[in-house]
Structures are given as structure tokens and as C-alpha cells.
């Protein structure tokens, strides 16, 4: 049975009181029935929320001052606004940020795949899903998504940077460098592209070019609101390149800058201690190793450093 929307009973005019004295028995019965119907209708509670539906071949009463909800073809209309593709995709992006933990990459992939199915032109969804694939170590899927971002938006510097970083992860340093070159051409202020190109050069053993890129990253970071953790990461990379070149004094200077930026970073003390040891500055090396032990909760490395200290100390 189809439920019809009815007018508010309180707005209906009150019927005149019937006088059954002149009616016969049949008339009394009819009047009693009418009274039951009227009383029943008057005692109905005012509906709080009514979904209006249009039954087949039935007239629809539109109540005064009542909103009309457009019916759908389904048996039960749901009063939820319809979103266009762009708004729906934005909603999915928001839902992903709310529902998925920062490192829950499978969850992120699920949400961004939903956005892509809804709008295959959503380059941000491809970009974010590509990052999730990359952090999930699915490099080929990540590269495929970054390819699609570049197809949709060839001027997206970050798309080249992200694909280059994935090539770095795969050990394909030449293709990584080519992508970083394009990212930097499109956006000369892309500090991360310089840093990651420097990493590719360092892995290829080209330490001078690596150091040049790390220098540029540090220069750009000094002009931008960058947190100390990211700044320290670039100093780590440059210190390691100096160390490979045998330029120990500059390596020590960079490790010292890391300690200034992030005093709780136990690994900076450890690496600086190793460089002091290479310079035969044993007392300074021992001091740094002890500071590492004071800060570190890395049981594996702590065991190594404790054994090494016993060898160094008289």
C-alpha cells in the first residue's frame, strides 16, 4: 500500500456538528462512522518529516507551506542532495583524509580508486594514489599513475618529481635524473626535486654534482617555511657525500648543523662519531658515541656501539 502525504489536520476546517435525531437507524450508523473517521483524522499527530511520493495514477495533494521533495524512481526516495562529479570527488578526498591513517596506504588506494572511477580526469586522485602505491613499494603501479598525471597535466612539476623519486626507489637513476631535470625546468623553486636529483647523483658516485644539488636545496629551503626535520635531511645527504669524498671536516660541520636543528637526533651523534674516528680524534668519537647511547632506543645499533666503545676506551 502506497503511503500518501496528507495535509496538516490542524489547518482543516472543523465540520458542523451533526444532528442525528431526525435520521433513521441507517442514517445514525452512517453518521457514527463519519464521526469516527473525522475524530481519527483530527487526532492524528502532525507528521515531523514526510517524504512525498507520487503513486501511479493517483492525484498528489500538495499541502500549504509544506516543502515538496522531488520523488525518485526508487520505492523509497532519499532526501540527500545529488553531487556533481567534481564535488563528489572532493568529498571522497575529504573522506580519505578523515578515514585513512597517514600510513594506511591500502585505505588511501581504495578511496582514490573510487574517485578515479567517478572522474577519470581527476589528476589529484592519480597523484595521491601514485604516492600511496609508492609508499606501499608498488613502484610500477605508482609510475603508471604518475604517467597519467603527466598526461592530464604536462605542466605539473610535482608529477615529474614524484615519478623521478619512484625511479630512484627502483634504482633507475638515469630516468630519475631526467624526470628531476624536467621538474626543475617547470619549477626552479622545487627544492625537493634538487634534493632527490642529488640523491640520484650520489648513488651514481657523482658526488660533486650531488653536493651542488644539496647546496641548492639548502638555499631554497632557507627562503621557504621548511621544518627543521626536512632541513636536517638535506644536511644528512650532503654530509654523506662529503664523507664519501673524504672531506671529513665539512662532513662534521654538516652533522653538527643537524644536531643544532634536531638535538634529539641520536643518529647524527653516531655518524659524527664515526667521522671523528676516521680523523683519529678518538676522544671526540667516544663522546659522540656516549651521547648516542644516552638518546637511542635502537637496541641493535646500541649493541654495536657498546661493543665498539669497549674497544676504543682504555
Cβ neighbourhood burial of 17 (10 Å; 0-12, 13-18, 19+): exposed
Q: Is residue 70 part of a domain?
A: no
Q: Which three cell numbers stand for residue 200?
A: 640520484
Q: Is residue 309 part of a domain?
A: no
Q: Assign 3-class secondary structure to 128-140.
A: HHHHHHHHCCCHH
Q: What value does the mean pLDDT take over residues 141-152?
A: 98
Taking only the tens place, the pLDDT of each residue in 152-200 is 999 999 999 999 999 999 999 999 999 999 999 999 999 999 999 999 9
pLDDT, position 84? 54
Distant-in-sequence, close-in-space partners of 222: CB < 8 Å, separation ≥ 6? none
Q: Is residue 248 part of a domain?
A: no
Domain span at residue 120 reads 86-154
Residue 77: pLDDT over 70:
no
Using an 8 Å Cβ cutoff, are 61 and 4 in contact?
A: yes
Distant-in-sequence, close-in-space partners of 171: CB < 8 Å, separation ≥ 6? 203
Q: Is residue 112 part of a domain?
A: yes
CATH number, position 144: 1.25.40.10
Taking only the tens place, the pLDDT of each residue in 81-91 is 444 555 655 66
Residue holding cell 639548502? Answer: 218
Number of folded domains in the chain? 1
pLDDT, position 183? 98
Q: What value does the mean pLDDT take over residues 82-108?
A: 68
Torsions phi, psi for 141 (to 5 deg): -65, -40
Instruction: Report CA dihedral (15, 21, 23, 24) to the nearest 10 degrees.
Output: 140
pLDDT confidence of 269, banded at 50, 70, 90?
Answer: very high
Taking only the tens place, the pLDDT of each residue in 281-301 is 999 999 999 999 999 999 999
What percent of the chain clears pLDDT 70, i.e. is strictly above it?
68
Q: What value does the mean pLDDT take over residues 92-105?
A: 71
Q: Number of helices (H) and strands (E), helices first, in the chain?
A: 14, 0
Choice between 178 and 21, residue whose per-residue pLDDT is larger: 178
Q: Is residue 105 part of a domain?
A: yes
Q: What value does the mean pLDDT take over residues 193-220?
A: 98
Full DSSP string of 169-228? HHT-HHHHHHHHHHHHHH-TT-HHHHHHHHHHHHHTT-HHHHHHHHHHHHHHHHTS---H
pLDDT, position 20? 40
pLDDT, position 226? 81
Q: Is residue 253 part of a domain?
A: no
Taking only the tens place, the pLDDT of each residue in 37-49 is 443 434 434 344 3
Nearest CA to 221 out of 189, 267, 245 is that of 189
Q: Is residue 260 part of a domain?
A: no
Q: Is residue 187 part of a domain?
A: no
What span, in angstroms and rounded, lies between the C-alpha atoms of 141 and 314?
A: 55
What span, in angstroms and rounded, lies between the C-alpha atoms of 99 and 247?
A: 48
Amino acid at each position: 500500500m502506497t503511503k500518501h502525504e496528507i495535509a496538516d489536520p490542524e489547518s482543516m476546517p472543523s465540520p458542523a456538528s451533526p444532528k442525528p435525531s431526525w435520521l433513521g437507524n441507517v442514517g445514525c450508523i452512517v453518521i457514527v462512522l463519519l464521526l469516527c473517521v473525522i475524530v481519527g483524522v483530527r487526532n492524528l499527530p502532525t507528521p515531523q518529516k514526510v517524504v512525498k511520493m507520487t503513486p501511479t495514477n493517483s492525484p498528489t495533494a500538495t499541502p500549504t507551506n509544506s516543502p515538496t521533495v522531488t520523488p525518485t524512481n526508487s520505492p523509497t526516495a532519499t532526501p540527500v542532495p545529488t553531487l556533481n562529479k567534481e564535488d563528489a570527488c572532493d568529498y571522497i578526498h575529504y573522506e580519505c583524509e578523515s578515514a585513512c591513517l597517514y600510513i594506511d596506504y591500502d585505505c588511501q588506494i581504495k578511496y582514490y580508486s573510487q574517485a578515479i572511477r567517478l572522474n577519470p580526469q581527476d589528476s589529484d586522485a592519480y597523484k595521491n594514489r601514485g604516492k600511496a602505491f609508492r609508499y606501499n613499494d608498488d613502484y610500477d603501479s605508482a609510475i603508471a599513475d604518475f604517467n597519467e598525471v603527466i598526461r592530464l597535466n604536462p605542466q605539473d612539476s610535482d608529477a615529474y618529481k614524484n615519478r623521478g623519486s619512484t625511479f630512484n626507489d627502483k634504482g633507475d637513476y638515469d630516468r630519475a635524473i631526467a624526470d628531476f631535470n624536467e621538474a626543475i625546468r617547470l619549477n626552479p623553486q622545487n627544492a625537493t626535486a634538487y634534493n632527490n636529483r642529488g640523491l640520484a647523483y650520489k648513488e651514481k658516485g657523482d658526488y660533486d654534482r650531488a653536493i651542488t644539488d644539496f647546496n641548492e636545496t639548502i638555499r631554497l629551503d632557507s627562503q621557504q617555511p621548511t621544518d627543521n626535520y626536512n632541513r636536517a635531511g638535506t644536511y644528512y645527504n650532503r654530509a654523506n657525500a662529503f664523507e664519501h669524498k673524504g672531506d671529513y671536516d665539512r662532513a662534521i660541520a654538516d652533522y653538527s648543523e643537524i644536531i643544532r636543528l634536531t638535538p634529539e637526533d641520536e643518529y647524527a651523534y653516531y655518524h659524527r662519531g664515526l667521522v671523528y674516528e676516521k680523523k683519529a680524534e678518538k676522544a671526540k668519537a667516544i663522546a659522540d658515541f656516549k651521547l648516542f647511547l644516552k638518546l637511542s632506543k635502537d637496541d641493535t645499533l646500541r649493541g654495536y656501539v657498546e661493543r665498539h666503545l669497549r674497544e676504543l676506551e682504555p
